[in-house]
């Protein structure tokens, strides 16, 4: 049946309301559709009462026929009532910036709809596809633990009044496992007894109309857009006919691959056929030889089928099924598995597919259908013919897949190694099968299939042939490794890089398989003597599958003093003021602002070359795209095209581009889709110039940004002469992408007169945004108003770099006279906005035999990118933190910023401090090894003391670090656990544990003195309500919440009477950026001062009516013509530093903290598991313990990403390989420490900040270095087993590749030796001494 010419009607439901759409464009995703309807893109799909989460950014709206969609707005709101899933994440402090919150809420909601009483493991699994950059995940899991039937302490009463017989999280509570006699100590950040119970009977019902449709025969659907036709047949016959008519058409079920290709790879498929309704392609059938699964079955349904088969069938028959389940366990996230199809996974023919090696090694059979008939083929070495190609003919359709039962004497394993355990693509993946002759250990058949080792999934045919007929013993292992090392070879320039790591993994995986099979053989051939060699007990852990226990945690803080007024919220764990709105989807972010009439959408046109002259820009093809309005470039700038902090940047590139992502122009169109298409159609010709990409290249070519800084103290030369030992080395730290969940976004609205323009921007820096925009438009700053409601995260990335987008959008709005909007895609944002500065540190340190440091010479090089931006400030802070927390009597240091052809790197949480301290810990770690002393003793020996002077000559006052150190050692049971770790390492060859305790000292103040100022504005209305405005912006850190608490105490009124609407340049002018961790300090004091002005004016009124209410006093003041509006101002006194003279006071005070972390590494794969972290942090007298603990945990997990996971990879030509969440991995729920304990240091008021508090945003981030050095400690243990005891270099991040390559053993030597055949295992007779 041919598709109809007229478009069909698409019928579905959204939040219970019927939607009928005609003329649907197949390129429209559910995300785009929901955004047009002003709804959240976080939702669940309901197919006949079964709930599924899905990625709205990929899911085609055409696939929604007869589906019910529930968004976060549809389950609850603040106006009527919140759903328990919304309420609990808000009240448990699991929402900070809130941009990710709706997605997490809907994942939890979906789980609860399908399983109202989940286990804690189910909850953690449900979040595999969700990311959060703010919270550190712990409070989310803690809040949702209350839904679990095995919720931890006391059967799920954790943190509630019933915990431990009323001792909830206090002394004797099982949640913290330790007594604490200190009075006024609490860890109850929320009270779970206040939560609304979950009542499944109150949930929205599945639309009855759709229930009646379930038994009706569907009819073929067809939707035609501007470029794509979508056809959804209902029978196999129709499908076969369509594929014959359109042989090049793509078959799409979940759109998880094609959607990405069309969106990000600029590919176009004019015809898409959706086979989701074909009965034969959704059927599951158990045959004599295996289970046949329809190709359109989702991976979630495959998982369910496999799980049931494993439960119902004898274990010997389900070896392959268990391997499939193990691979699916780590396959993407639930949002993908719920919609992605088995057949799509096969036909995509990805060389790094998780499932294809399993299907190939098992010999799964594929049934293909076409007009010529049906055929069945085996998925073997002939199936994949080239990169993304198979033997399936264009007109053929994959109908089903038969996954075979395993036989007696057959064993199967599957392995996968990725950068991140959860929701990540594989680096190397494999399926391994062996069948033994009956009752023996002789190999009858063996298949070893690998992904990630060639352009296709491959079988190691030569190795398998050689191993067939051999006994499963040590000689076979030796030969297999030798053969695989030769057969699974990669050229040094192989796509994907990591050549040695990938080759090593092929051997490591086989070794794991060998041990696993040997273990099973020993059990199954128990009665047959001498057939199986015994496995050494210290090898057994190599066979264990990855397992992580549900998290356990405690957060300890000092309660408010007895007698503090109930309405005084300072010091109490007040919920983030926007948390409920964020959880219900009501919180408004920049792109949520309703569209203006005639609004245009802008898409940037950026350079594809890192360094080149622009020869021509051709927009003719773009002009033919429907909806195209105009192209904007440098000639359209009415003011100055020069911009940037150092005036060394341009709004638009004119003659030369200096990085990939350099903005050349922008396209304006009527919709986002049209502007994107038009932007891709702009053709630019270049004359390429040689780029400088790395720090090493910049050093070679002396490409530096001016202003080289130095800090020198003491006599370094004399210090080295007096030292017992001198250690030299270097360390490289990679950069980091901010990965705020809300990308850069600007909406510019021209006002039509006097050059006025209103800008809604996601920025930490309204003043610089105003200034740069005014400069570009050629108008005074008083014509530009910048407004910031909230940001979906910032972390420094929106301190200056938002201006590169905002100025472009403003110029476009000026040119057209119409409102213009742009929100960058993730890959665009990562491409153009820069990130944390990569650093290279070179050091020479002199020290005594006892580990006491005498002298340090250090050079820091940072990769600044193509402009100055904030690079000099970042380097300044790195130099000021080169000591971390250690007293170094003689220091010579230099900091050099390299100029390269990368997008300008910028501020990022810590602002150079983490890089400076990380290199200090590198040499501290190595010198402890050199002295053969415990690292914790050497670190403590070198710690500062109260009254000591730093290398920049600032005296340390209120030095609480040693208290933090001692408390952390005690609370972590450091010494007892260290002994247990030593025992574990002695008992395990291929798993090693490590532990490390790390201090931090972080200076608080902007290092540019004039930025240490803030303003506030307080309006009191006649009803007694207060409107508060201050210079800081809210990006999730809880600044507005804290400011309301400060104002509440200052005015003596409840927080409910105080409201903050937004931050804007027309209320508080000339604001400093919300950065450097000082925002609560300076804005809090400004708020306090404004409130004091109001109170002083009210004094006569209060004296005349001392028993009156706040409202009485305000009315009386108004009627007495007393102003009820006041400004406040504050500056940090006595800060400023001279680098040349090494004198002054760069910081107002310091924040201190200590963390102890324990990890476990897999020496064979490079995987690591974060077992436990204990943090003790000095935050002064906390304004809000819940927010401060949230900042500590969030910073720690962000640092965890920096030091162990997040890796930016560039080509030699300056192209960013790791663009978008598919390639760049931030920590996920499963990456946080299994045990996570945070304690705020007690009784440590800080006289330098508002209400004795301390800054908390940046200081904790470096504490995650404890994980890095715990990993290094574990690697030392592994290397020791290989006879290596000297210090070794480990650069950051400690990725699986770096960990595995550092665990030197026979496998690594086999793949890195010039002649791998020389590294034979044959000369080593016994497994116990093989490695």
Report the catalytic residues.
Answer: 1258
DSSP string, 1155-1204: EEEEEEEETTT--EEEEEEEEEEE-BS-S-HHHHHHHHHHHHHHHHHHHH
3-state secondary structure of 279: helix
CA distance 1032 to 1016: 9
CA distance 37 to 43: 14
CA distance 623 to 678: 7
CA distance 1275 to 1297: 13
Strand 373-378 relative to strand 365-370, pairing: antiparallel
Handedness of CA 716, 722, 723, 727 (dihedral sign): positive
Contact 1148, 1214 (CB under 8 A): no
Question: Strand ranges (DSSP E) for 419-544?
Answer: 426-436, 443-451, 458-459
Q: How many CB atoms lie within 10 A of CB 157?
A: 17
CA distance 517 to 624: 63
CA distance 868 to 861: 14
Backbone angles phi, psi at 1145, to 5 degrees: -135, 95
Task: Write out the two tokens for 896.
Answer: 């050099």
Report the candidate in 160, 139, 150 with the shortest Cα–Cα distance to residue 92.
139
Task: Write out the two tokens for 587.
Answer: 């919180």
Give the C-alpha distances (Å, rounded to integers) separating 130 from 53, 424, 1195: 11, 12, 18
CA distance 796 to 911: 8
3-state secondary structure of 803: helix
Task: Write out the two tokens for 942.
Answer: 């070198």
Task: Write out the two tokens for 287.
Answer: 């045959």
Chain centroid, CA 1058 distance in Å: 34
CA distance 834 to 1075: 17
Contact 863, 905 (CB under 8 A): yes
Strand 68-71 relative to strand 10-14, pairing: parallel
Continuous H helices in 332-406 = 334-337, 342-347, 356-362
Q: How many CB atoms lie within 10 A of CB 116?
A: 13
**774-786 burial code (b ≥16 CB/10 A, e <16):** bbbbebebebbbb
Q: In what order do the strands lie in the sheet with 426-436?
A: 410-418, 426-436, 443-451, 458-459
**Any idea what DSSP says for residue 543?**
G
CA distance 319 to 310: 9
Residue 477: enclosing H or E segment and its boundaries? helix 474-487
**1010-1043 burial code (b ≥16 CB/10 A, e <16):** ebbbbbbbbbbeeeebbebbbbbbbbbbbbbbbb
Give the C-alpha distances (Å, rounded to integers) separating 337 from 29, 116, 297, 303, 341: 18, 21, 10, 9, 8
Question: Does a cis peptide bond (omega within 30 degrees of 0) precede residue 892?
Answer: no
**898-914 burial code (b ≥16 CB/10 A, e <16):** bbbbbbbbbbbbbbbbb
């Amino acid at each position: 049946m041919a598709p109809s010419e007229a478009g069909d009607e698409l019928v579905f439901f959204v939040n219970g309301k019927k939607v009928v759409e005609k003329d649907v464009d197949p390129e429209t995703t559910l995300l785009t559709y929901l955004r047009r309807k002003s709804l959240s893109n976080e939702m669940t799909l309901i197919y006949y009462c079964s709930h599924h989460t899905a990625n709205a950014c990929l899911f085609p709206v055409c696939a929604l026929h007869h589906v019910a969609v529930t968004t976060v707005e549809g389950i609850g709101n603040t106006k009527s009532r919140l759903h328990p899933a919304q309420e609990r994440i808000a009240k448990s402090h699991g929402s900070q910036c809130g941009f990710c919150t709706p997605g997490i809420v809907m994942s939890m909601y979906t789980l609860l709809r399908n399983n109202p009483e989940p286990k804690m493991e189910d909850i953690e699994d449900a979040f595999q596809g969700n990311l959060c950059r703010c919270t550190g995940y712990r409070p989310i899991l803690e809040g949702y633990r209350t839904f679990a039937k095995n919720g931890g302490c006391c059967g799920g009463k954790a943190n509630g009044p019933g915990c431990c017989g009323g001792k909830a999280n206090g002394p004797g509570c099982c949640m913290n496992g330790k007594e604490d006699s200190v009075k006024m100590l609490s860890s109850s950040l929320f009270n779970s007894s206040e939560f609304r119970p979950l009542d499944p009977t109150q949930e929205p019902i599945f639309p009855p109309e759709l229930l009646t449709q379930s038994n009706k025969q569907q009819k073929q659907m067809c939707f035609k857009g501007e470029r794509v036709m979508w056809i959804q047949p209902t029978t196999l016959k129709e499908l076969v006919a369509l594929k014959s008519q359109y042989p090049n058409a793509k078959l799409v079920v979940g759109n998880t691959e094609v959607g990405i290709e069309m969106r990000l790879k600029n590919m176009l498929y004019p015809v898409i056929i959706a086979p989701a309704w074909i009965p034969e392609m959704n059927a599951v059938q158990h045959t004599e030889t295996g289970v046949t699964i329809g190709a359109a079955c989702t991976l979630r349904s495959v998982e369910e089928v496999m799980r049931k088969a494993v439960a119902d069938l004898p274990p010997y028959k389900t070896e392959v099924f268990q391997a499939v389940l193990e691979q699916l366990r780590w396959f993407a996230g639930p949002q993908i598995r719920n919609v992605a199809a088995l057949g799509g996974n096969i036909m995509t023919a990805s060389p790094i597919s998780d499932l294809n090696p399993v299907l190939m090694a098992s010999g799964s059979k594929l049934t293909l259908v076409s007009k010529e008939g049906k055929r069945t083929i085996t998925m073997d070495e002939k199936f994949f013919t080239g990169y993304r190609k198979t033997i399936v003919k264009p007109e053929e359709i994959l109908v089903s897949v038969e996954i075979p039962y395993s036989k007696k004497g057959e064993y199967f394993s599957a392995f996968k190694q990725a950068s991140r355990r959860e929701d990540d693509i594989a680096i190397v993946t494999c399926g391994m099968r062996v069948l033994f002759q009956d009752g023996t250990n002789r190999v009858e058949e063996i298949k070893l299939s690998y992904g990630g080792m060639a352009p296709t999934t491959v079988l190691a045919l030569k190795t398998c042939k050689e191993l067939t007929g051999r006994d499963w013993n040590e000689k076979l292992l030796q030969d297999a490794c030798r053969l695989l090392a030769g057969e699974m070879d990669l050229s040094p320039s192989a796509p994907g890089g990591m050549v040695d790591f990938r080759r090593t993994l092929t051997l490591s995986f086989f070794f794991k398989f060998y041990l696993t099979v040997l273990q099973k053989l020993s059990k199954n051939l128990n009665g047959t003597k001498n057939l199986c060699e015994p496995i050494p007990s210290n090898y057994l852990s190599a066979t264990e599958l990855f397992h992580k226990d549900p998290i356990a945690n405690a957060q300890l803080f000092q309660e408010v003093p007895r007698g503090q007024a109930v309405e005084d919220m300072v010091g109490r764990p007040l919920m983030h003021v926007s948390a409920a709105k964020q959880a219900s989807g009501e919180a408004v972010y920049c792109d949520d602002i309703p569209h203006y009439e005639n609004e245009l959408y802008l898409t940037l046109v950026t350079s594809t070359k890192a360094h080149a002259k622009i020869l021509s820009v051709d927009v003719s093809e773009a002009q033919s795209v429907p909806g195209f309005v105009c192209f904007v470039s440098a000639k359209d700038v009415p003011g100055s095209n020069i911009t940037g902090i150092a005036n060394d940047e341009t709004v638009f590139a004119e003659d030369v581009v200096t990085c990939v992502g350099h903005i050349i122009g922008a396209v304006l169109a009527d919709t986002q889709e049209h502007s994107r298409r038009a932007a891709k159609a702009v053709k630019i010709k270049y004359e390429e110039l040689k780029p400088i990409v790395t720090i090493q290249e910049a050093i070679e070519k002396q490409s530096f940004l001016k202003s080289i800084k130095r800090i020198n103290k003491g006599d370094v030369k004399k210090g080295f002469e007096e030292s017992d030992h001198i250690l030299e080395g270097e360390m490289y730290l990679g950069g980091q992408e901010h990965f705020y969940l809300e990308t850069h976004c600007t909406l510019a609205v021209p006002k039509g007169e006097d050059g006025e323009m209103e800008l809604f921007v996601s920025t930490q820096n309204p003043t610089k945004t105003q200034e740069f925009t005014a400069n570009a438009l050629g108008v005074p700053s008083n014509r530009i108003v910048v407004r910031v409601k909230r940001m979906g995260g910032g972390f420094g990335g929106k301190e200056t770099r938002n201006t590169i987008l905002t100025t472009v959008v403003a110029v476009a709005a000026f040119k057209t006279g119409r409102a213009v909007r742009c929100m960058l895609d993730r890959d665009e944002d990562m491409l153009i906005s820069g990130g944390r500065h990569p650093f290279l540190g070179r050091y020479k340190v002199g020290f005594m035999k006892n580990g006491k440091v005498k002298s340090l010479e250090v050079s820091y090089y940072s990769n600044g990118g193509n402009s100055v931006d904030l690079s000099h400030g970042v380097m300044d802070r790195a130099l000021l933190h080169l000591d971390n927390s250690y007293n170094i009597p003689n220091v010579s240091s230099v900091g050099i910023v390299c100029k390269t052809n990368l997008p300008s790197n910028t501020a990022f949480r810590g602002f150079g401090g983490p890089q400076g301290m990380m290199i200090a810990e590198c040499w501290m770690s190595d010198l402890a090894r050199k002295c053969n002393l415990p690292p914790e003793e050497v670190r403590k020996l070198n710690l500062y003391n109260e009254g000591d002077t730093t290398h920049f000559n600032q005296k340390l006052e209120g030095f609480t670090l040693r208290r933090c150190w001692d408390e952390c050692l005690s609370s972590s049971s450091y010494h007892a656990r260290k002994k247990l770790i030593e025992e574990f390492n002695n008992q395990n060859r291929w798993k090693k544990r490590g532990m490390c305790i790390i201090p931090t000292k972080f200076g608080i103040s902007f290092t540019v003195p004039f930025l240490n100022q803030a303003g506030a504005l307080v309006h009191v209305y006649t009803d007694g309500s207060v409107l508060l405005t201050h210079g800081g912006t809210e990006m999730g850190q809880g600044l507005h919440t804290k400011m309301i608490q400060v104002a509440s105490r200052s005015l003596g009124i409840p927080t409910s009477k105080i409201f903050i609407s937004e931050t804007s340049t027309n209320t508080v002018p000339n604001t400093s950026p919300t950065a450097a961790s000082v925002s609560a300090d300076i804005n809090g004091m400004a708020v306090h001062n404004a409130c004091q002005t109001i109170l002083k004016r009210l004094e006569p009124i209060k004296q005349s009516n001392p028993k009156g209410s706040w409202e009485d006093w305000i009315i009386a003041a108004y009627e007495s013509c007393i102003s009820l509006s006041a400004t406040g101002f504050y500056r940090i006194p006595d800060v400023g530093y001279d680098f040349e003279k090494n004198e002054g006071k760069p910081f107002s005070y310091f924040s201190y903290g200590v963390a102890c972390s324990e990890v476990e590494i897999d020496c064979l794969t490079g995987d690591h598991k974060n077992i436990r972290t204990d943090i003790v942090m000095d935050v002064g007298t906390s304004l809000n313990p819940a927010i401060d603990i949230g900042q500590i945990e969030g910073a720690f997990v962000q640092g965890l990403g920096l030091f162990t996971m997040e890796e930016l990879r560039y080509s030699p030509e300056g192209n960013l390989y790791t663009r978008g969440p598919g390639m760049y991995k931030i920590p996920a729920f499963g990456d946080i420490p299994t045990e996570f304990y945070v304690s705020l240091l007690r009784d440590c008021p800080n006289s330098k900040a508002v209400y004795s508090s301390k800054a908390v945003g940046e200081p904790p981030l470096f504490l995650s270095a404890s994980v890095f050095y715990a990993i290094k400690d574990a690697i030392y243990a592994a290397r020791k087993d290989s006879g290596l005891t000297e210090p070794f270099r480990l650069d950051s991040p400690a990725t699986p590749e770096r960990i595995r390559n550092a665990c030197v053993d026979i496998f690594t030597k086999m793949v890195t030796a010039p002649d791998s055949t020389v590294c034979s295992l044959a000369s080593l007779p016994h497994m116990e001494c093989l490695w």
